[in-house]
Structure 1
Amino acid sequence: MPRYEYRCRTCGTTFELRRPMAQSSAPAPCPQGHGDTVKLLSTVAVGGTATAAPAAAPASGGGGCCGGGCCG
């Protein structure tokens, strides 16, 4: 289930809620009890390294438009 970040406009508290995507825009009461909150736009960073795929071996049979044959 995705997590969404909200901020309370009354006290400035930022908090997260886990809820279904269908409920992402539903009101989210502040943990301090305030009701005036706004959903924040979150960014996601994905770490890791990319590796190049090994080069494919060239197809045998020559080239050309007919799979190696002559298209006269």
Structure 2
Amino acid sequence: MPTYAYRCRECTGTFELNRPMSESGAPATCPDGHDDTVKLLTTVPLTGSASAPMPAGGGCCGGACGCG
């Protein structure tokens, strides 16, 4: 289940909620009981290893256009 971040406009606190994607636009109440909240845009961390080898291929499109 995705985690969504919110900010309360009344107390300026931030909090997170786990909820289904179908409820992503539903109103959220802050932990202090305030209803004036806004959903924040969050970034998605990329997973992987910095030491992982890069895939073979060439150019901008993996060599399919002949540029590699």
Identify whether the pair has TM-score above 0.5, normalized to the shorter chain.
yes
2:23 matched to which residue of 1?
Answer: 23
Q: For the residues of structure 1 that align with 2:6 and 2:20, how far apart are their CA atoms? A: 15
The runs of at least 4 aligned residues of structure 1 exceeding 6 Å deviation read none
When the two structures are aligned, how many residues end up with a matched partner?
A: 55
After TM superposition, the score normalised by the length of structure 2 is 0.72
Q: Is structure 2 residue 23 aligned with structure 1 residue 8? A: no
Which protein shows a greater Rg?
1
Q: For the residues of structure 1 that align with 2:33 and 2:20, how far apart are their CA atoms? A: 22
- Superposed CA offset, 1:52-72 (max 9, x none): 3468xxxxxxxxxxxxxxxxx
Unaligned 5+ runs, structure 2: 58-68
Q: Which amino acid aligns with 1:16?
A: E
Shift of 1:44: 1.5
1:52 matched to which residue of 2?
Answer: 54
Unaligned 5+ runs, structure 1: 56-72
After TM superposition, the score normalised by the length of structure 1 is 0.68
